Amino acid sequence: MSTQATVEELRSGLNGYLAEVEKGNEVLVCRSDKLIARIIPATPAPLKNRTKIGWADDTLKILGPVTGPVMEDDGEMLPRLDLARKMAKL
């Protein structure tokens, strides 16, 4: 999420804008409706803990067979791993 501010707004409310940056948001600084700077956090915002079961309910829809080939961005097929065969060797 980003917040937009003019140079004058930034000068008068610097503490508030820096608080936004500390929360992980960026501040876009504009002069005469032209973007001149971005203030971003020094370290990335911590990732949310997604290990809880069910955190991604209703966010993934499988549209085809799961056992089909996987394609790279350039159209090349990735090698398919036969998990059953590998497990049998263990």
Per-residue pLDDT of the chain (90 residues; tens, 9 = 90+): 789 999 999 999 999 999 999 988 999 999 998 999 999 998 876 666 666 666 666 676 667 666 665 555 555 555 555 555 555 565
What residue segments make up the domains of the chain, in order of their start?
2-39
Strands 34-39 and 26-31: what pairing? antiparallel
Beta bridge partners, 35, equal 30
Which pLDDT belongs to residue 71? Answer: 58
Single pTM value for the model: 0.48
Q: Does domain 2-39 have CATH number 3.40.1620?
A: yes
Residue found by looking up tokens 């707004």 in the block? 9
